[in-house]
Structure 1
Amino acid sequence: MSSEVLVPRPHYDDRDVAQGILTQDPSVEPDVPQPSSGSAPAGYRSAKYTPAEWFSNYHSILQQGVTDHSEAERVQRRSKALSQDTETDTQHTQAQGTRLLGDRLQDIHFCRSELQQHISQLQVDIEALSGQKLRLERALDATEIPYAIATDNLTCRTRRPAPDLVQDTVEEELIKEVDLVKNIQALLRRTTAQVVSQIKINKDTKQMLEMDWSDKYEAYNLDDICGRYRNASIDTKHHPSSANMQDQVCNPASWAKFTQDNLTKAMQEEHATYSLRMLVERVLEDTTRDLRVQCASVDQAFTHRCEELIEAKTQLETKHAQVLEQIGAQERNIVALQQAIHDKEAPLRVAQSRLYVRSQRPNMELCRDPPQLSLEAEETQIKASVEALEQQLSQARGSLSFLEESRMAIEKDVACKANSLFIERDKCMTKRKRYPAVSTLSGY
C-alpha cells in the first residue's frame, strides 16, 4: 500500500449530468488537516470516510432515489396523459381529414357530374349542328337546280321570234327567281360558315371540359385512395417532403372559379348553339318557302302567258280562215269582172260596126239621126262600162294582193305564236317540272 495521502473524491450524480443538472460540489478542504480518530496512522486515515460521510452518502442516495421515483411517476403520468391527448388529437385530426376528404370527394363528384352533363350536351349539340351543316350543304346543292332551270328558261326564251321577243311578266319573274336563288345561296354559305365555326368552338369547349373532367376523375380516384387509408393499412409509407406546398398549387377559390368558368363557357356555347340551330331552321324554312313561292309565281306567269299565246293563235287562225275565204271570194269576183269585161266586147263590136257601116251612107243620107245618136251613145256607154269594170277589176286585184299579204302575215304570226307556245309550254314549263320538292330544298 502506498503511503501517499489520498484526497477524498467529490460525489457526482451521473443522472443529473445527463439531465443537464449540475450538483454542487461538496465542501471539501483537502489542504486542511482533519482531526484523527484513534491512534491509526495518518496514511490509513486519509483513505477512509467518516461515519457522517457514510450516512450522508447513503441518505443522499436514498433521497435521490425518492426524487427519481417521484420524477419517474410524474413523467409517466405526463407521458400517459400526453399519449392519450396525442392519440385523441391524432384520431380527431385523422377523422377530420377523412371527413374533409369525403366532402372533397362529394365536391369533385358534383363538379364532375356537372362537367359530364355539359360534355354530353355539347356532344349532342355538335351532332345536331353537324346534321344541320349537312342539311345546309344539301340545300345549297339543291338550289343549283332552280338556278339552272331559271337561267335555261331565260336562254330558251331568247330564241323566240322577234314579234314575241318581249320583256313580259314571265321574264321579270324569271329574273327575280335568278336573283333570289343567288341571294339564298349566299345566305346558305354564310350560315354554313357560322355552323362550322360554332362546331369548332363547341369541340374546343368540350375538349376543355373533358380535360377538366379527366383531372377531376384522377383527383377523385386519388382522394378516394387517400380516404381508404387506415392505420392498419399495409401500403402506407413515410413521405416527409410531401407536405411541402408547391408554388403552383391553387387555392379552393381559384379551383372552384376555374371549374365554374368552364361551366359558364359551356352554358354560353350551349345557348349560342341553341340560337344558331333555331336560326338555321328559320333560314331553311324561309329559303324553301321563298323559292317555292317564286316558283309558283313563275309557273303562274308561264300559264298566263301560254293562255295569251293560245288565245292569240286561235284568233289568228280564225282570222286566217276568214282571209282565205275572202281571198277565194275576191278571186271569184275578179273572174266575174274579167268575164263581164269580156262580155262587153261583142256589144262594142256590134255598135262600132254599125257606126262604121252607117258612116258609108251617101250624101245627105249621112245624117245624125236618132239611130246614129243612139249608136254613139251605146258605144260611149259600153266604153264607160268597160272602163268602170276595168277600174273595179284593178281594185279587186289590189284587194286580193292585200288579202294575200294579210294571209302571209297571219300565217307567219301563227307560226311565231306556235313556236313561242312550244318554247313556253313544251320547253320551259316541262323543264320546270324538275323543280326540287320542299323536302329537297330543306336539305333532307
Structure 2
Amino acid sequence: MELLGSTHTATYTRPGMKSTNFLPAISTMASSYKNPHFVMSQSMYLPWRPNSYFRTASAVPSIGVTSRISPDLIQAKVSRFPSNRTALLARYTPVDWLKSNHNNYMESESSRHSAERLRVDTARLIQDKEQLTRKTQSTTSKNIGERLNDIVFWKSELNHEIENMIGETNALAEVKKRLERALAETEGPLQVARECLYHREKRMSVDLVHDKVEKDLIQEVESIKGCQERMRCSLDAANSQLASNRAAQHELDRDINDKLIAHRIDDKCHYLRNTSDGISYFHGVENIDATVSMPESWAKFTDNNILRSQNERAASAKLRHDIETLLNTTSNEMWNHFNSVNVAFTNRLSEVADAKNKLQMHLAKTLQEIFQTEMLIEALKKAIRDKESPLKVAHTRLDERTRRPNVELCRDSTQLRLVSEVREIDDTIQRLRERLWEAEKTLQMLVNTKVTLEHDLSIKANSLFIDQEKCMSMRKSFPSTPRLVGYT
C-alpha cells in the first residue's frame, strides 16, 4: 500500500485515513531544514568564523558519517590537543566530507520526492473531497427536496381533510340549529294539549267524563314530552360531537401550521447555495440532536390525525342522519297524535251535539206536555167547579123535600134518585179531584224533567263551547311539518 509522505513535521498516513495534523506555516519551516546530525555545540564556537548558519560534521571518521560524536569524546580530543588549533579544526576526512554531501543530496531528494508525493496526493485528496462534498451536498439537497415533497403531500391531505371536516362541522351545526328550532316548536303543541286538558276540567256534572278525547290528549302530552327528551339527548350528543369535531380540526390546523413552518424552513434550506447570503458557521450544531420523531412516527402522527378526523366525521355524519331520522319520526309521531286527538274531538263534538239536539227535542216535547197538562188541570178545575152547581141543586132539593109534612115524607124514587145524584156528583167531584192531583203531580214531574233537560242542555252547551270554541280553536295553531323538522 502506498504511503503518503510529508515533511518532518507531518505524519505518514494511509490513503483514506483522516490525518489529525496540518502542515505548519512556511515561516516555521526553516528550523526543520537543520540536520540534527550537524548541530554545533556551543562549546565548539569558533570566534574567527561568522555567526551565520553552518553545519558541523556528526560522524566519527573511523565509524562513518551516520555516527554521532559524543560531546565527551570531543571534549577529550580538545583536552588531548589543547594547543594544536589546526588539528582541532581539521577533524574530518575527505571521505567524511563526501559522505556528508552525499547524505545531504539523498536527504534533499527524499524530501523533494516526499513533497511531490504530498502535492500530488493533496491535489487528488482536494479533488476527491471536493467531489465528495459536492455529491454529499447534492444528495442532501435531493433529500431535502424529497422531504419537501412529503410535506407537500401531507399538507394536501391535511387541507383536504380540513375542508371535509369544516363542511361536516357546518352541516352538523345546521342540523343542530334545526333540532333546536324543532325542540322550541314542540313547546306550542305541548302547551295547547295541556290547555285543552285544563279547559276540559271545566266541564260540569256528567260531562266531566274520562272520554277518548281526554285519553288521547294525555297520550299526546306524554308523546310530546318523550319527543322533547329524545331531542334534548340528540342535542347534547350534537354539542359533544361538535366539540370533538373542533378538537380534531384543531389538531389538523396545528399539524398543518407546523408543516407550513417546516416547509418554509426546508424550502429555504433547499435553495441555499455556497454563494447564498446568510450562511455562517455554527460550531457544534451537528452534535445537537433536538429531533423528537422519526420519519415513520412523523408520518404516522399526521396519518393518525387524519384518521381521527375521518372517524369524527363518520360519527358526525351518522349523528346527522340520526337527527334527521329523529326529526322526521317525532314530526310524524306528533302529527299522528294531533290528528288522533282532533278526530276524537270531532267525534266527541258530534256525540255532544247529537245529545244536545235530542235533549232539545225532548225538552220541546216536555214543554208541549207541560202545556197540555196545564190545560188538563185547568179543565179539571173547571169541571170540578161545574159540578158544584148541580151538587148544590141536589142538596137544595133534598133539603127542601125534608120539609114535606107527615106522610109526604116518602122515600120515593125521586128521593132515592136525589140521594143517588148527590152521591154520584160527590163521587165525580172526588174522582176529578184525584185526577187533578195526579195532573198536578204529573205537571210537577214534567217541570222537574224540563229543569233537568235545560240543565243538561246547559252542560252540553258548555261542553260544546269548551271543546269546539276553546280547544279546537287553539289546536288550529299546531305547527306545520316543515317547522316540526326545524325548517323556518
Considering the TM-score relative to the shorter chain, is it more than 0.5? yes
In structure 2, the partner of 1:160 is 203
Cα deviation for residue 44 of structure 1 reads 7.0
Letter paired with 1:164: D
Written as runs of structure 1 = structure 2, the 5 A alignment for 1:324-363 is: 324-363=367-406
In structure 2, the partner of 1:133 is 176
Cα deviation for residue 48 of structure 1 reads 7.9
* Partner SS, residue 86 of structure 1: helix
Cα deviation for residue 20 of structure 1 reads 6.5
* Partner SS, residue 240 of structure 1: coil
> Does residue 321 of structure 1 match 2:401?
no
**Greater Cα shift, 171-180 or 347-356:** 347-356
> Does residue 434 of structure 1 match 2:477?
yes
Cα deviation for residue 45 of structure 1 reads 7.9
**Structure 1 residues 19, 362: CA separation in 2 closer, same or farther (over 3 Å shift)?**
closer
**Greater Cα shift, 157-166 or 225-234:** 225-234
Cα deviation for residue 229 of structure 1 reads 1.7
Cα deviation for residue 376 of structure 1 reads 2.4
**Structure 1 residues 49, 293: CA separation in 2 closer, same or farther (over 3 Å shift)?**
same
Measure, in 1, the Cα distance between the counterparts of 2:275 and 2:469.
Answer: 95
Letter paired with 2:347: H
Cα deviation for residue 203 of structure 1 reads 1.6
Measure, in 2, the Cα distance between the counterparts of 1:20 and 1:443.
Answer: 90
Measure, in 1, the Cα distance between the counterparts of 2:461 and 2:97.
Answer: 158
C-alpha RMSD of the superposition: 2.6
> Does residue 366 of structure 1 match 2:409?
yes
Written as runs of structure 1 = structure 2, the 5 A alignment for 1:45-444 is: 46-47=89-90, 50-246=93-289, 249-444=292-487
TM-score normalized with structure 2 length: 0.80
**Structure 1 residues 43, 341: CA separation in 2 closer, same or farther (over 3 Å shift)?**
same
**Greater Cα shift, 180-189 or 92-101:** 180-189
* Partner SS, residue 361 of structure 1: coil
Measure, in 2, the Cα distance between the counterparts of 1:76 and 1:416.
Answer: 130
Measure, in 1, the Cα distance between the counterparts of 2:237 and 2:144.
Answer: 45
Summarize deviations over 1:209-233 as a string: whole Å, max 9, x none: 2111111111111111111122332
Letter paired with 2:271: R
**Greater Cα shift, 184-193 or 354-363:** 354-363
* Partner SS, residue 132 of structure 2: helix
Measure, in 1, the Cα distance between the counterparts of 2:319 and 2:386.
Answer: 98
Measure, in 2, the Cα distance between the counterparts of 1:427 and 1:130.
Answer: 39
Measure, in 2, the Cα distance between the counterparts of 1:182 and 1:81.
Answer: 92
In structure 1, the partner of 2:59 is 27
Cα deviation for residue 322 of structure 1 reads 0.7
**Greater Cα shift, 428-437 or 65-74:** 65-74
**Structure 1 residues 18, 346: CA separation in 2 closer, same or farther (over 3 Å shift)?**
closer
Summarize deviations over 1:55-93 as a string: whole Å, max 9, x none: 434433433343334333333332233233223322222
Check whether the contact 2:179–2:235 (CA below 8 A) recurs between aligned residues. yes
Measure, in 1, the Cα distance between the counterparts of 2:203 and 2:411.
Answer: 75
TM-score normalized with structure 1 length: 0.87
**Greater Cα shift, 355-364 or 284-293:** 355-364
Measure, in 2, the Cα distance between the counterparts of 1:366 and 1:249.
Answer: 158
Measure, in 2, the Cα distance between the counterparts of 1:215 and 1:361.
Answer: 152
* Partner SS, residue 284 of structure 2: helix
In structure 2, the partner of 1:38 is none
Measure, in 1, the Cα distance between the counterparts of 2:347 and 2:188.
Answer: 24
Show structure 1 runs of 5+ residues with no match.
1-14, 35-40
Measure, in 1, the Cα distance between the counterparts of 2:457 and 2:423.
Answer: 50
Letter paired with 1:112: K
Measure, in 1, the Cα distance between the counterparts of 2:222 and 2:250.
Answer: 42
Letter paired with 1:141: A
Decide which structure has greater helix share: 1
Check whether the contact 2:7–2:111 (CA below 8 A) recurs between aligned residues. no
Measure, in 1, the Cα distance between the counterparts of 2:122 and 2:7.
Answer: 20
* Partner SS, residue 232 of structure 1: coil
Measure, in 1, the Cα distance between the counterparts of 2:106 and 2:331.
Answer: 113
Letter paired with 1:18: T
Summarize deviations over 1:404-438 as a string: whole Å, max 9, x none: 11111111111111111111111111111122222
Cα deviation for residue 42 of structure 1 reads 6.6
* Partner SS, residue 248 of structure 2: helix
**Greater Cα shift, 72-81 or 48-57:** 48-57
In structure 2, the partner of 1:18 is 9
Summarize deviations over 1:98-137 as a string: whole Å, max 9, x none: 2211111111111122222222222223222322232222
Measure, in 1, the Cα distance between the counterparts of 2:254 and 2:284.
Answer: 28
Measure, in 1, the Cα distance between the counterparts of 2:199 and 2:315.
Answer: 47
**Equivalent residue pairs, number:** 424
Summarize deviations over 1:16-44 as a string: whole Å, max 9, x none: 6434799895532565999xxxxxx9717
Identity of aligned residues (%): 36
Higher relative contact order (CA 8 A, sep 6+): 1
* Partner SS, residue 344 of structure 1: helix
